[in-house]
Structure 1
Amino acid sequence: MFTRLVSLLVVYIISTRDLSHCCQVKQFAGKDSFVCVCNEAYCDSIVTEPNSLPDHLTIFQSDAASHRFSKSIISFNELLLDSDALVDVHIKVNGTDRKQQIFGFGGSFTDSAGINIKKLPAKLVDQLIENYFSETKGLGYTYGRVPIAASDFSQRYYTYAEVADDFELKHFKLAHEDTLYKIPLIKKALSVSKDLRLISAPWAPPSWLKTSHRPKGLGILQDDPGSKYWKTYANYIVKFLETYVQHGIHFWGVSPQNEPSTGLMPNWPLNTCGFSGHMMRDYIKKDLGPALKKAGFGKDKVKLMIWDDQLLDIMPFIRVILEDKEAAEYVSGVAYHWYSRLSLGNWTRAERYATDIIEGLNHWSTGWVDWNLALDESGGPNWVNNFIDSMVIVNNTSPEYYKQPMYYVFGHFSRFLRPGSTRLGHSIIKNNAENEVKLTV
């Protein structure tokens, strides 16, 4: 399914981009590529400078063998004379066929990300945040995802309402993970990316709201939509948004539930809560939508994103919601997922990132938000041992971190497809590679 990309090239007829430092290479046995090491003494970064050469293109190249955002400049004449040697795909662009605008790209402020980043010296913490959120030296992230209470990428399971039957949420309280990890990290990111948009999502409600009375496995909210159990879960989300506002953090979007299909699976190993499409429809129109609107978080302030799950079964779920006029009034968009296990220096993984982003954009996606900003060398911590990969891996024993191949491949999109960029219509004359066309203004 995934075409081999010998080299990922992004060409722009705009300003040149320069690499201020080359990658400090570290190779892991058995891997098809390498990572770039960042420590207090050295870390590569991307610096922008205007292109003073007329009639020239700036090319940025990343590949498995040696390149990480390597820059070269070529004239239009050279490009035309040697075009077959440069490319494996010929694209006819229709500049008048303008598709969707790009909202942006980003990553997630999980507890695990905060735990790993906090282990680093202060200088490296600032450097890592810059690597992700700086538009002039990093990937230029403009989105951040924040779990409401514990996700699986926490060291323990917790919620903000541990007192049973507290339907008025009088005992609602943020956890130390918020004040120690999430909030400080978000504020650092906001100091670098002023236009950062934050999206939140709950993994599970307090267990006393669920039929199973436990966080994992099969379990839905007790009673029916419109009841005190469902309204309490809606108000729980509202309380989270309000409490973060008190800390100076405002959210652009919220999801009603992370991976709602998993809570309908008997042996699902992660904290979750199940919703069918019909259940979510009624929850949105009877409970969550009105609660958000009443609290001043209507869709003009906070975007409600439905599904937030794997692509499988997405259409039946969202169709039943969007075909209901009352529920659809509260909905602004759709979110979907995929994940992979940790593999240091894996170029094939980077190619899969590129393929997934291109496929998403070709099917009208407006952005792409990665999962954990940083994990350790086991792909955690994770309280249910669901270890996966991350663009940045923090060394457990030395004050350094590794930027994975997928970090750089992701940058070929996030760095140049800035918010407001537009996908253009095009046709493929010769197709030997994944392809996409964007207009960056």
Structure 2
Amino acid sequence: MTAALALGGAVAATAAPSADRRAQPQARVWVTTVDRSELLHERAPVTFREGTSAEPTIVVDPRRSYQSMDGFGASLTDSSAEVLYRLSPADRDEVMRSLFDPARGIGVSFLRQPIGSSDFTAADEHYTYDDVPAGQTDFGLRSFSIAHDEARILPLLRQARRLNPKLTIMATPWSMPAWMKTGGTLAGGRLADDPAVYRAYARYLVRFVQAYAAAGVPIDYLSVQNEPQNRAPSGYPGTDLPVRQQARVIEALGPLLRAASPRTKILGYDHNWATHPGDIASTPPGEDPETDYPYQLLSGPAARWIAGTAFHCYYGDPSAQTALHDAYPDKGIWFTECSGSHGPDDPPAKFFRETLVWHARTLAIGTTRNWAKSVVNWNLALDATGGPHLGGCDTCTGLVTVGADGTATTNAEYYTIGHLSKFVRPGAVRIASTSFGTVGWNGQLTDVAFRNPDGSTALVVHNENDDPRSFAVAVGDRIIDYTLPGGALATFTWPAHPALRSDLREIPLTGATVVADPAGENPAAAVDADASTRWSSGQAQAPGQYLQVDLGATRTFRRVAIDSGGNLGDYPRGWQLSASDDGTTWRTLATGTGVAQLTNVDLPRTTARHLRITSTAAAGNWWSIADLRLYT
């Protein structure tokens, strides 16, 4: 069997076509299921209609935008290059097309390249680009050479750039040359605390950037150390680089890089969402474990040279990215490494399912909803044993597995990346969408939406639950209805269309406060702009129950959206919307009978400081409000 025949899911699919203004707008749909019965399979399109839906409704709001996107992908490690070169030239070309071609493949658009050796190295020993005999130094970098990469890595990188000219490339070292380090070894130790060494390391990194550019592979981003708190790597290169040392390297590197390669931006940190307990335990006695590493880095003078920070998935959760963004909103966030990993006895079907659902909710959606400008897995391709590797992980998987028989098969990561990279173009901007799921798994629908440079929209939806889930997607005043199998991942795309426009703009409810009767569960969750949280009555619906909001200031609005979220049936069976200027004297704005999870109450232009939603009917269901939204 050839590689091309074994590559399931590498289907040809184009971006959403230009809208016919006379036709009803449609969304195209691609689905991947946990049983592999559908792998980036394009289903029949669905037509937007007028009206409402009884199901939970994902509201996509293009008027609210967040970060721009650089791309999605993995790393073309030394091991990845090795296994790809085990294929025949024709089969290797087909695998590369399936990975990088935006039309015939998934359009991988971001690569994170090791500078020298990592654990995924096919050589017999680890290496950098300036290795000299033990006891010697090379401050003049006379031994510097990227010859190792010229055989396989650079040809593949050049081919990837030809297949996808919009490819972004980041570079990261696992270790500086051993002669720059305490202990004189690539595996472990620290950068020598010597100004001459800091300068030499900065020049080494610039030489790499220049050499790669001369070889036809310009570097867009550069971090100065992979996982700087991993002090005891298991038989592979690594360096303990405390904040003060990373800052000194960056301060030496910044001016040199600006002069030599202005396009290349520096990223700091490049480690986990939270400091791993093992890294805390390995902190030398008397030293700060630096659990706030990225905060310290961005608060110092080196920050002037730093475009932002990079994160990995191996400890903590993506909310750490939003916390850092909130503290330093002018600095970008990139997600740059996560590997699928399996137990030694995991059957393939179990591993595919578990990887798909975890990566879908945590990486594809979780990182991007938390400000990541990229989503990057670890190895692009590995062999059937999860190698070759020299130390480090022995249960990792790549986007593609190359078998001993010359076949290439796609793994779950191929699809979790593909549901983004094939449809979300570099330069796209994340836009607002209500999402009911969490990265910790709550069995709901979770999603993320993007507006492409051509004006089209891509919406990625994951059903966290094991059972099928039905939902609606609302854009402007039109909706589509859909059902996803348990665990499935889907991408919806649609072109810009006059029927999907809206003049309404959401009003932020920052500073709003809430009281409820009954208090039930967490009244403040109704105005936290997070549909995965909710206020719930905690008891059966009854007339007179209410939720009351002090908006914090007088607001003028034309629509109030009462969203009961993902818990089907928790909408009010009858409701009354009232307003007040002082919280004492109330006037009724509207009344109605609840029929759906999302109730949009359209009003004449209304001004008020206080709102109250009162239940006017009885039902056995609890009453929930996941999100209260005002529009003007």
Q: TM-score, normalised by structure 1?
A: 0.82
| Contact residue 38 and residue 402 of structure 1 kept, 8 A | no
Report the Cα offset of residue 186 of structure 1: 0.4
**Is 2:359 aligned against 1:356?**
no
The Cα of 1:210 is off from its aligned counterpart by: 0.8
Amino acid at match of 2:110: Y
- Matched with 1:439 is 451
Match of 1:391 in 2: 399
Q: Is 424-433 or 158-167 further displaced after alignment?
A: 424-433
Structure 2 SS opposite 1:259: coil
More helix by share: 1
Q: 1:321 aligns with which of 297, 300, 304?
A: 297
C-alpha displacement of 1:94? 2.9
1:422 paired to 2:404 = no
Q: Check the 8 A contact 1:321/1:327 in 2, yes or no.
A: yes
Of Structure 1 and Structure 2, which has the larger fraction of its residues in strand?
Answer: 2
Instruction: Kindly tell me the number of residue pairs found equivalent between the two proteins.
Output: 389
| One of 364, 384, 398 as aligned partner of 1:377 | 384
What residue in structure 2 maps to residue 167 of structure 1? 139
2 CA distance for matches of 1:297 and 1:130? 29
Identity percentage over the alignment? Answer: 25
- The 1:220–1:436 alpha-carbon spacing in structure 2 relative to 1, beyond 3 Å, is same
1:295-334 matches, cutoff 5 A: 296-298=260-262, 301-313=263-275, 316-324=292-300, 326-334=301-309
Superposed CA deviations along residues 128-174 of structure 1, whole A, max 9, x for unmatched, are 11111111111112211211111111123011212221111111122
Residue 135 (1) aligns with residue 102 (2): yes
**Are 1:243 and 2:211 an aligned pair?**
yes
Change in 2 beyond 3 A, CA 1:392/1:223 = same
Comparing 330-339 and 267-276, the one that deviates more: 267-276
The alignment status of 1:335 with 2:310, answered yes or no, reads yes
Query: Which one-letter code corresponds to 1:121 in the other structure?
Result: S
Unaligned runs of 5+ in 2: 276-289, 314-338, 438-442, 456-632
Taking a change above 3 Å as real, the CA distance of residues 54 and 270 of structure 1, as seen in their structure-2 partners, is same
| 1:316/1:381 CA distance change after superposition, 3 Å | same
Q: Give the partner amino acid of 1:373.
A: L
Q: Is the 8 A contact 1:56 1:73 kept in 2?
A: no
Q: Name the structure 2 match of 1:289.
A: 254
Paired position in structure 2 for 1:209: 180
Deviation at 1:315, TM superposition (A): 6.9
Are 1:279 and 2:245 counterparts? yes
Tell me whether 110-119 or 65-74 shows the greater mean CA deviation.
65-74
Largest Rg, 1 or 2: 2
Q: Which moved more, 1:92-101 or 1:311-320?
A: 311-320
Select the residue among 123, 127, 132 that pairs with 1:158.
Answer: 127
Structure 1 contact 284–327 (Cα < 8 Å) conserved: yes
Which residue of the partner structure matches residue 32 of structure 1?
none
- What secondary structure, in the 3-state scheme, does the structure 1 residue paired with 2:340 have? coil
- What is aligned with 1:61? 31
Cα deviation code 1:212-271 (max 9, x no counterpart): 111113x111124xx1112111111111112122212211111111111113x4x65421
User: 2:42 aligns to what?
Assistant: 71
SS in 2 for 1:145: strand
| C-alpha displacement of 1:78 | 7.5
Write the letter of the residue equivalent to 2:140. E
Q: Which among 176, 190, 198 is matched to residue 230 of structure 1?
A: 198
Moved more, 157-166 or 43-52: 43-52
In structure 2, give the amino acid aligned to 1:437. A
For the 8 Å contact 2:71–2:426, the answer to whether it is kept is yes
CA distance in 2, matches of 1:349, 1:429: 21
Is the Cα contact below 8 Å between 2:3 and 2:94 reproduced in 1?
no
CA distance in 1, matches of 2:112, 2:2: 24
Greater shift, 71-80 or 148-157, is seen at 71-80
Q: Counterpart of 1:272 in 2: which secondary structure?
A: coil
C-alpha RMSD of the superposition: 2.4
> Relative contact order: is structure 1 or structure 2 higher (C-alpha 8 Å, sep ≥ 6)?
1
User: Is the CA contact (8 Å cut-off) linking 2:3 and 2:95 kept in structure 1?
Assistant: no
CA–CA separation in structure 2 for the residues paired with 1:429 and 1:195: 33
Partner residue, 2:603:
none
- For structure 1, which runs of at least 5 residues remain unmatched after alignment? 1-36
Is the CA contact (8 Å cut-off) linking 2:106 and 2:421 kept in structure 1?
yes
Q: Which residue of 2 aligns with 1:253?
A: 221
SS at match of 2:192: coil
Structure 1: distance between partners of 2:140 and 2:197:
11
- In structure 1, the residue corresponding to 2:241 is in which secondary structure? coil
Contact 2:436 2:446 in 1 (8 A): no
- Alignment match of 1:97 (pick from 64, 80, 104): 64
Aligned-partner Cα distance in 2 for 1:174–1:348: 38
Q: 2:171 aligns with which of 182, 197, 200?
A: 200
Cα distance change of structure 1 residues 384 and 418 upon mapping to structure 2, 3 Å threshold: same
Q: Name the counterpart of 2:11.
A: 46
Quick one: distance in 2 between partners of 1:80 and 1:405? 36
> Is the contact between residue 92 and residue 429 of structure 1 (CA under 8 Å) also seen in structure 2?
no
421-430 vs 96-105, which moves further = 421-430
Matched-pair contact (CA < 8 Å) for 2:6–2:408: no
Whether contact under 8 Å (1:107, 1:369) holds in the other structure is yes
CA contact (8 A) 2:266 2:305 kept: yes
Paired with 1:213 and 1:108, the residues of 2 have a C-alpha distance of: 27
CA contact (8 A) 2:100 2:107 kept: yes
TM-score between the two structures when normalised by the length of structure 2: 0.58
